[in-house]
Amino acid sequence: MASRNDMRKRRHSRIRKKVSGTTQKPRLCIYRSLNNIYAQIIDDAAGRTLVSSSTLDAASFKGHKGHRGNIEASRKAGELVGKKALKAGIRKVVFDRGGYLYHGRVKALADAAREAGLEF
């Protein structure tokens, strides 16, 4: 029997066959661990990360109290990646949910990034 992470990796590989970031529309990729959530905006054509954000960013989570693996922290990380992307001149992205269900922390990060001004 395959583990949950193995099944997630299989789903992610199926998603990656269809979703690819370009220079005009880079890919917003999410990785979720038990304690943190990470978001990167990647240009797959050039093979480099343009913008990144996570709940580990000390400066942006200085006043945050409590656990960083919850919906509130994910929402804050989504706002941060959206603001950084707009500063870098990125407006449109394609969303790569990383094989995770579009629910809970992943949905909170995506909604916050949309509210910050990203289009996907």
Question: Dihedral (C-alpha) 71, 104, 27, 91: value to the nearest 10 degrees?
Answer: -60
Say what the pTM is. Answer: 0.90
Please give the Cα distance from 4 to 13 (Å, whole number): 14
Domain ranges of the chain: 4-116
- Which tens digits make up the pLDDT trace of 64-103? 777 788 999 999 999 999 999 999 999 999 999 999 999 9
Select 4-116's CATH number: 2.40.37.10, 3.60.20.10, 3.30.460.10, 3.30.420.100: 3.30.420.100
A 10 A CB-CB count for 35 gives 12
Cα three-residue angle 31-118-69, rounded to 5 degrees: 30
